[in-house]
């Protein structure tokens, strides 16, 4: 996301009505009380501005399919973390659904907006029977989360899913560290080389999907495999030598289509943890096709297991092991990862 001045969260109808209409539409006795409020959070700068342009083209079709039954509320993000604030306000005001319009970064922020102070955000009116659902229209540089469900990048298909309105409970991962804030992820969290590659890739998003290749090449310079201490499911600490990358999947894909955790699914109550050990640069070249089609679990030095929690620390304490989730840089180890089963209702 472009770094610009932050704006106060607000809702703007696609028809340019005021934000106060959301409260009016959901208040008791309102003539619009039977209409659903759906908030579309758009990152207009996503994919070098393509998200904003495609969104404008999409609006007439969106109105034609949903306008008779729903209050269509549009809110454009103005900078990092803005989508988090918008989502929290939408949930508190009683929105029926919040739809992320953009790539995995926008979806990541919207998911984090479903939580505050370690708990799910709730409506101001605690007696309201419905809960706010999560939706997705993939329009960004990367749409890896959508791949797990087999969804295409066709926004018309996404709108039809919203029209149909089928919902399913999905899991969300939560990341913590001592003395730090909680952070949530919906797709894949990863550590060391892959996280470092993602950090560099974020600087080259103007090149589209090529940014992942550039990021990976840059990450290899100066890279050293590291011994890591890992505790799974509150068990005993174990040392894993020469770890190249560790991936914690709530879903299957990351890095622009790499099926890194092929057995993960965001509704099974567990992560898939995949550990790559002692990989050299030429190993990636020779095995890249396996990483993309998800057949790498049979490769030597690749471990996989199911887990509901995992703690990861460095052995030597170099404080330079990168951590990211859903492609967003979070800092460095140590970190704890745990799963919140079925915590969000998603339109699917």
Catalytic machinery residues = 104
- H helix or E strand, kind and range, residue 121: none
Locate the DSSP E strands across the chain: 12-13, 36-42, 70-76, 97-102, 115-116, 119-120, 133-138, 167-176, 183-185, 188-192, 226-232, 238-249, 271-277, 302-307, 309-314, 322-325, 328-332, 335-347
Here the tokens at position 81 are: 């973390």
Residue 18 is classified by DSSP as -
Locate tokens 């509704």: which residue?
267
Measured over the CA atoms of residue 86, residue 187, residue 163 and residue 151, the dihedral's sign is positive
Here the tokens at position 166 are: 């089928």
Q: Is residue 231 packed enough to be buried (19+ CB in 10 Å), middle (13-18) or exposed (0-12)?
A: middle
Closest CA to 230 of 273, 261, 178, 186: 273
């Amino acid at each position: 996301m472009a770094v610009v001045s932050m704006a106060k969260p607000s809702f703007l109808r696609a028809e340019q009505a005021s934000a106060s209409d959301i409260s009016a539409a959901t208040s008791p006795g309102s003539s619009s009380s039977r209409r659903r409020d759906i908030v579309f959070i758009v990152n207009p700068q996503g994919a070098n501005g393509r998200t904003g342009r495609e969104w404008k083209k999409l609006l007439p079709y969106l109105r034609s399919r949903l306008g008779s039954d729903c209050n269509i509320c549009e809110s454009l993000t103005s900078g990092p973390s803005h989508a988090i604030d918008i989502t929290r306000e939408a949930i508190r005001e009683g929105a029926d659904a919040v739809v992320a319009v953009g790539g995995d970064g926008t979806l990541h922020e919207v998911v984090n907006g479903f939580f505050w102070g370690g708990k799910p955000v709730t409506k101001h009116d605690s007696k309201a029977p419905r809960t706010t659902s999560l939706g997705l229209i993939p329009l960004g540089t990367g749409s890896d989360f959508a791949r797990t469900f087999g969804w295409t990048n066709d926004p018309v298909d996404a709108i039809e899913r919203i029209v149909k309105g089928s919902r399913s409970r999905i899991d969300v991962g939560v990341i913590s560290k001592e003395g730090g804030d909680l952070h949530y992820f919906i797709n894949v969290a990863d550590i060391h080389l892959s996280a470092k590659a993602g950090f560099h890739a974020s600087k080259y998003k103007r090149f589209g999907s090529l940014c992942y290749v550039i990021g990976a090449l840059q990450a290899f310079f100066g890279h050293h495999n590291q011994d890591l201490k890992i505790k799974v499911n509150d068990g005993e600490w174990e040392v894993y030598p020469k770890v190249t990358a560790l991936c914690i999947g709530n879903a299957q894909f990351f890095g622009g289509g790499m099926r890194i955790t092929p057995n993960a699914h965001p509704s099974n109550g567990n992560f898939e943890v995949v550990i790559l050990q002692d990989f050299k640069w030429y190993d990636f070249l020779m095995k890249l096709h396996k990483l993309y089609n998800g057949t790498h679990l049979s490769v030597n030095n690749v471990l996989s297991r199911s887990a509901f929690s995992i703690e990861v620390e460095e052995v030597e304490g170099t404080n330079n092991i990168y951590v990211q989730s859903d492609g967003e840089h979070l800092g460095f180890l140590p970190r704890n990862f745990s799963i919140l089963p079925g915590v969000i209702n998603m339109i699917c």
